[in-house]
Amino acid sequence: MLVKSPPQVGAVEDAPPRGRNATRSLGLLISVALLAAVVVASIALGARAIPVGDVWHGVFTPSGTDNDTVIRELRIPRTLLGLVVGAALGLAGAVLQALTRNPLADPSLLGINAGASAGVVTAISLLGVTSLTGYVWFAFAGAAVVAVAVYALGGHRSATPIRLTLAGTAVTAALFGYVQAVQLLDTAALDRMRFWTVGSLASASMSTFWKVLPCLAVGTLLALALARPLNAVAMGDDTARALGANLTRTRTLAMVAATLLCGGAVAACGPIVFVGLMVPHMVRSFTGPDQRWILPYAAVLSPVLLLGADVVGRVVARPGELQVGIVTALIGGPVFIHLVRRRRMAQL
């Protein structure tokens, strides 16, 4: 008698035909090419437009001209930070959407952004920290502490998507009140935080980039390694257990990955909204529910959105600029409303 072998952990569908995998691979290559084009635009465009030929020389064979100085000291750090932060936000959003089984979840859902904001306002108001590079550590520490608290309040080993979401919502509300109270009582803290809380790449530096890179790199590798287990979690607890998935370990590691990614991104640039929500959700409509494709696509296309929004903010407000957090909010608000309405219509 033949016994059918059990399905692999993380299988969300039958093996797709070669044509579908080829289409996904081609789409990923196109996404990488689009990212390369946006990177060039990020270096070339701004308050001063720089020809592409000068960009090439400024990056690879600098000769000390004014354009070279702008490229190497301002635009390259800004672009590199936008690359890693965009990828981190996209991956974090995809991981949290799979973890909570909510396709409209984003990195602020579990209170991580609020924790980072609380860490920064505490550092400014109570400890007198004044530099952006000083904020980074406090923002990351706040994000980490809140992530642990939310996981504990959500039930730790018995945590479920609903419990984690409710715990994150409650903690976010409490921390938002704390941040607002400190800012009202300390106008200096309000002045120093106002650009950080909007979300910006304007103060990017190589120092900040190198400080957050280890956290973002570890979080990225961990998120990509969780693709198969997250596929199982997304199918429901009972199905995941039947497939042999370790739910406690997967949720714990997913929380660690999201904390590293969100904490590092928010620490470097402030709480930039909608990137972690829009990109994974839109990618899913092309790749299907398989996290093995969603995660790489999100890691590539989220920097496209972030850097593209940053370029738009610099070009439309010359010689000043709109902060990238404002641009993503202006784009993300209507898109979010459309996504919610589409889901409601699908449920009717």
Residue type, 272: I
Q: Which pLDDT score, from 0 to 100, does residue 158 have?
A: 62
Q: Which pLDDT score, from 0 to 100, does residue 11 have?
A: 46
Answer yes or no: is 97 within a domain.
yes
Q: pLDDT-derived band of residue 8, with 50, 70 and 90 as boundaries?
A: very low
The closest alpha carbon to 86, from 304, 329, 347, belongs to 304
132 pLDDT exceeds 80?
no
Q: How many domains does the chain have?
A: 1
Q: Which pLDDT score, from 0 to 100, does residue 340 have?
A: 66
Average pLDDT value for residue range 212-234: 92
Mind spelling out the 3-state secondary structure of the chain? Answer: CCCCCCCCCCCCCCCCCHHHHHHHHHHHHHHHHHHHHHHHHHHHCCCCCCCHHHHHHHHHCCCCCHHHHHHHHHHHHHHHHHHHHHHHHHHHHHHHHHHHCCCCCCCCCCCHHHHHHHHHHHHHHHHCCCCHHHHHHHHHHHHHHHHHHHHHHCCHHHCCHHHHHHHHHHHHHHHHHHHHHHHHHCHHHHHHHHHHHHCCCCCCCHHHHHHHHHHHHHHHHHHHHCHHHHHHHCCCHHHHHHCCCCHHHHHHHHHHHHHHHHHHHHHHHCCCCCHHHHHHHHHHHHHCCCHHHHHHHHHHHHHHHHHHHHHHHHHHCCCCCCCHHHHHHHHHHHHHHHHHHHHHHHHC
67 pLDDT exceeds 80?
yes
Answer yes or no: is 11 within a domain.
no
Residue pair 233/164 in contact by the 8 Å Cβ criterion: no
Answer yes or no: is 2 within a domain.
no
pLDDT digit string (tens) for 256-293?
Answer: 998 899 888 988 888 888 898 889 988 988 888 899 99
Q: Which pLDDT score, from 0 to 100, does residue 156 have?
A: 63
Answer yes or no: is 4 within a domain.
no
Query: Max alpha carbon distance in the chain (Å)?
Result: 78
Question: Domain range spanning residue 237?
Answer: 31-340
pLDDT digit string (tens) for 154-172?
Answer: 766 666 677 877 888 888 8
Average pLDDT value for residue range 213-239: 89
Mean pLDDT of the chain: 83
Q: How far is CA 244 from CA 7, 99, 238, 248, 290, in A?
A: 10, 17, 10, 12, 18
Most confidently modeled range among 28-37, 99-108, 338-347: 28-37
What does the alpha-carbon distance between residue 286 and residue 23 come to, in Å, rounded to a whole number?
10
Q: pLDDT-derived band of residue 42, with 50, 70 and 90 as boundaries?
A: very high
116 pLDDT exceeds 90?
no
Answer yes or no: is 325 within a domain.
yes
Residues above pLDDT 70, as percent of the chain:
87
Q: Which pLDDT score, from 0 to 100, does residue 348 have?
A: 46
Tokens of 311: 């370029």
Answer yes or no: is 201 within a domain.
yes
Residue pair 28/296 in contact by the 8 Å Cβ criterion: yes
The closest alpha carbon to 253, from 113, 141, 159, 139, belongs to 159
Between 35 and 285, the more confident residue is 35
Q: Which pLDDT score, from 0 to 100, does residue 16 have?
A: 54
Cis peptide bond upstream of 271, omega within 30: no
Q: How far is CA 1 from CA 4, 5, in A?
A: 10, 13
Q: Which pLDDT score, from 0 to 100, does residue 216 have?
A: 93
Most confidently modeled range among 99-103, 178-182, 216-220: 216-220
Q: Which pLDDT score, from 0 to 100, does residue 168 have?
A: 83
Tokens of 250: 């997967």
Output the CA torsion sign for 74, 264, 278, 227: positive
Between 333 and 141, the more confident residue is 141
For residue 233, the Cα-to-chain-centroid distance in whole angstroms is: 21
What residues contact residue 228 under an 8 Å CB cut-off, 6+ apart? 8, 9, 10, 291, 292
Residue pair 213/84 in contact by the 8 Å Cβ criterion: yes
Q: pLDDT-derived band of residue 53, with 50, 70 and 90 as boundaries?
A: confident
Q: Which pLDDT score, from 0 to 100, does residue 1 have?
A: 43
pLDDT digit string (tens) for 291-347?
Answer: 999 999 999 999 999 999 999 999 888 787 888 888 998 887 787 777 667 655 445
Q: Which pLDDT score, from 0 to 100, does residue 152 have?
A: 82
Answer yes or no: is 12 within a domain.
no
CATH of the domain at 232: 1.10.3470.10
Residue pair 223/93 in contact by the 8 Å Cβ criterion: no
Answer yes or no: is 228 within a domain.
yes
